[in-house]
Amino acid sequence: MQRRILAPGALAAASVLLAIPASAASFSPGAPGIGDPYYPAYGNGGYDVSHYDLRLKYQPATDELEGTATILATTTQDLSRFDLDFLLDVSEVRVDGVKAAFAASGEHELQITPKKALPKGAAITVVVRYRGVPSSKQAYGFTSWHRTPDGGVGANEPESAWWWFPSNDHPLDKATYDVSVQVPDGTQALSNGTLQSTSSRAGWTRYNWRSNKPQATYLATLAVGRFDITTGTTESGIPVVNAYSRDLGDNAGAARASIERTGEIADWLSGYFGPYPFDALGGYVPNTTTGYALETQTRPYYSPRQFAGGSNTSVVVHELAHQWYGDFVSVAGWKDIWLNEGFARYAQWLWSEHEDEGTAQELADYVYASHPADDAFWTVKPGDPGPENQFDIAVYDRGALAVQALRNEIGDDAFFTVLKGWPRQHAYGNAAVADFRQYAEQVSGKRLDALFDTWLFQPAKPGAPAARSASIARPAAAPVAPRSWKKIAATNDVHEH
């Protein structure tokens, strides 16, 4: 309302308006969720974040994290109150420099009431001071914070930020990041992007990381521990920083033999997906016990278990493929997960072909033949799997099968044009499955609604195989797995709750 009083032509009426108590009718609380039907409480309404500045101090011995988050945002409605998603203990919140009231609410909401209501379109600065022991906090009965013998790691999907920084936790609200972490000397702190500088003082070392391209909250990562760090540069000139826990034991060699090929693999993927969209690259393997890997932006997280069977470049291909399909272009809603997993899996199929371990068509034939029509596998709809099946194996394998079906339908020329053109269509943004279908229709000149419906949205085994190969025309009694199969099947970046 104040803005209107100051508008040209309204000055004459100002004294009259000021005599009337300012109406708060249009100022209302931001929604406690951003509107994702899979996770109604995830993210928040009423503002859009552009930048997170996180200044942290972490003590590995006790898992104590202390921090100040400075969040730059713009309001998208007249706001009387708004939420951040967060679990640690908050001691102070300031909005535009002024102390604000705050309270914990729901499973993971931090409800903030600024002293003065915030008009729509205002650039605001929110400072949150906090501390806590991340491993002691749960929401919905789980934790995404991984304690390790030498530190801790924040990496999970679809949520991990709650345990280490307050945020608008949904892929729709991407932002840039500066993450500055102080840890005891001899310990390293890793995050996304580029290490800008380090400094040491009184037994503590500070690591300053910058991720300067829009990044979804679940793709932000923090890892503290004792790491061996390797650096290099890809053929295309991207700096690479990889990190390996010093306690990987028998898996150390296989992990390095896989992740040290990150630059080569990213360059290979750029032949299919277009130029690598970020200016930093790498991977890290802390001594966690999870079974999954995750496409944390510019620097994927790998569990040591991914390398228990020997080197596994396939999992590196998967997580790096996500840098285009998942990170550069992120889901508009979590129901669009096929745009991430179907394509990251398909990239593994292309790599299998590249490594002469079975073609994409052979892998498609194998997946199709190895699940009989009454297998529950076919009841999962990759195009809208539901939150309970968001990371079901079918989203990956049937998802990649759908990609192969598209390839067979529109032919290699159009298919590879789509594969490379799509990331640029929504660069650093978000998109839905329907957007992808429309783009594939535009490139190929074909109507694809029936194909998409069959492969992504029907809870049944498609009657006709995606394959047009001879092996499907005469179905084998016992389908033979391509040589790459075992490693591909071991690569599911599923969350653990």
The 436-475 site mask, x for binding Zn ion (CB under 5 A), equals ----------------------------------------
Whether residue 265 contacts residue 321, with contact meaning beta carbons closer than 8 Å, is answered with: no
| d(C-alpha 160, C-alpha 344), whole Å | 21
- Site of tokens 């200044």: 55
Whether residue 223 contacts residue 280, with contact meaning beta carbons closer than 8 Å, is answered with: no
Q: Which is nearer to Zn ion, 165 or 343 (CB)?
A: 343
442 by DSSP, 3-state: which? helix
| Closest distance to Zn ion from the beta carbon of 404 (Å) | 17
| Closest distance to Zn ion from the beta carbon of 391 (Å) | 8
Q: Which is nearer to Zn ion, 106 or 386 (CB)?
A: 386
Element (H, E) at 243: strand 239-245
Q: What residue number has its CB nearest to Zn ion? A: 493
| Closest distance to Zn ion from the beta carbon of 340 (Å) | 6
Which strands sit side by side in the sheet containing 222-225, from one edge to the other? 145-148, 151-154, 222-225, 188-190
Q: Which is nearer to Zn ion, 109 or 336 (CB)?
A: 336
| Closest distance to Zn ion from the beta carbon of 322 (Å) | 6
89 by DSSP, 3-state: which? strand
Task: Give the count of beta carbons closer than 10 Å to the beta carbon of residue 16.
Answer: 9
Q: Which is nearer to Zn ion, 151 or 283 (CB)?
A: 283
Q: Which is nearer to Zn ion, 110 or 394 (CB)?
A: 394
What tokens appear for 488 in the block? Answer: 């591909």
| d(C-alpha 462, C-alpha 456), whole Å | 10
| d(C-alpha 75, C-alpha 71), whole Å | 12
What tokens appear for 96 in the block? Answer: 């535009």
Q: Which is nearer to Zn ion, 58 or 346 (CB)?
A: 346
What tokens appear for 331 in the block? Answer: 């889901």
| Closest distance to Zn ion from the beta carbon of 341 (Å) | 5
| Closest distance to Zn ion from the beta carbon of 248 (Å) | 22
Part of the chain binding Zn ion (CB under 5 A), chosen from 101-109, 187-195, 331-339, 486-494: 486-494
| Closest distance to Zn ion from the beta carbon of 343 (Å) | 9
Which is it for strands 329-331 and 429-431: parallel, antiparallel or unpaired? parallel
The 239-278 site mask, x for binding Zn ion (CB under 5 A), equals ----------------------------------------
| Closest distance to Zn ion from the beta carbon of 345 (Å) | 7
Part of the chain binding Zn ion (CB under 5 A), chosen from 44-52, 118-126, 365-373, 487-495: 487-495
The 330-369 site mask, x for binding Zn ion (CB under 5 A), equals -----------x--x-------------------------
| d(C-alpha 90, C-alpha 51), whole Å | 20
Nearest residue to 334 (alpha-carbon basis) of 267, 390, 296, 278: 390
| Footprint of Zn ion on 79-138 (CB under 5 A) | none
Q: Which is nearer to Zn ion, 194 or 348 (CB)?
A: 348
Cα-Cα end-to-end distance for the chain: 46
- Candidates 311, 397, 493, 494: give the one binding Zn ion (CB under 5 A): 493
| Closest distance to Zn ion from the beta carbon of 307 (Å) | 17
Task: Give the count of beta carbons closer than 10 Å to the beta carbon of residue 218.
Answer: 28
Q: Which is nearer to Zn ion, 5 or 490 (CB)?
A: 490
| d(C-alpha 165, C-alpha 137), whole Å | 13
Binding-site ranges for Zn ion (CB under 5 A): 341, 344, 493
